[in-house]
Amino acid sequence: MEGRCIWCNKVGDNLRQATVGTRHPLLGGPARTDLVVHEEHADAFERFSERVGRSGRLFLAAVGVCLLAMVGLEIALVAGARTVGTVGIGMAVVALGIVLSALPFSTPQTVALLGARTAARLARLAGALLIGLGLFVVLLVL
Ligand SMILES: [Zn+2]
């Protein structure tokens, strides 16, 4: 079978249909049935996609909470609670970074563009950067 491997994003001819469950909001959803994967990457992708299936909702909820917290804290900041607002936003950014590092999921578009492996690496890198940025923001007020 020919195509582009969903895991490493390389074109090849020793690909096979990837076995993906039906509930993968972060891998393209049930409509996406054209996933193919290298024989040698099938296990890695399957583990990753199982993890997305198990933790996908948790991930989306955690990201949502972090973003909501940031919005709330920005309002506090505008309202004059400078220290609380700034430290809080820093902590929320750190929390978001921890979520991204622990569950390195990205969008289906990113997976389609770069492959799941690279997308996960980028998400981890972004998580690490967010943790650093958040700590920096907290340190600014201390
Ligand atoms: Zn591959």
71-97: per-residue pLDDT in tens?
Answer: 999 999 999 999 999 999 999 999 999
Return the pLDDT at 123.
95
Q: Which residue has the tokens 């998400």?
A: 123
pLDDT at 30 over 70: no
Q: Can you tell me the distance from the alpha carbon of 8 to that of 94, in angstroms, rounded to the nearest whole number? A: 29
> Which range has the worst mean pLDDT, 17-26, 72-81, 106-115?
17-26
Return the pLDDT at 1.
67
**Beta-carbon count within 10 A of 133 CB:** 15
Residue 122 belongs to what domain range?
3-141
CA neighbours closer than 13 Å in the CB half-sphere of residue 126: 13
Give the Å distance between the CA of 129 and the centre of ligand 1. 27
Quick check: helix, strand or coil at residue 7?
A: coil
Higher pLDDT among residues 9 and 108, named by residue: 9
Give the Å distance between the CA of 18 and the centre of ligand 1. 11
Measure the CA dihedral 57/63/66/67, to 10°: -120
| Pairing of β 11-12 and β 3-4 | antiparallel
Domain count of the fold of the chain? 1
**Residue 4 parent element (H or E):** strand 3-4
Return the pLDDT at 54.
85
Structural contact between residues 92 and 134, judged by C-beta atoms closer than 8 angstroms: yes
Share of the chain above pLDDT 90, in %: 61
Average pLDDT score over the chain: 88
Q: How does DSSP classify residue 36? A: E
State both tokens at 129.
């950067």
> Which range has the worst mean pLDDT, 23-32, 49-58, 63-72, 102-111?
23-32
Give the Å distance between the CA of 37 and the centre of ligand 1. 6
pTM summary value: 0.83
State both tokens at 28.
């393209």
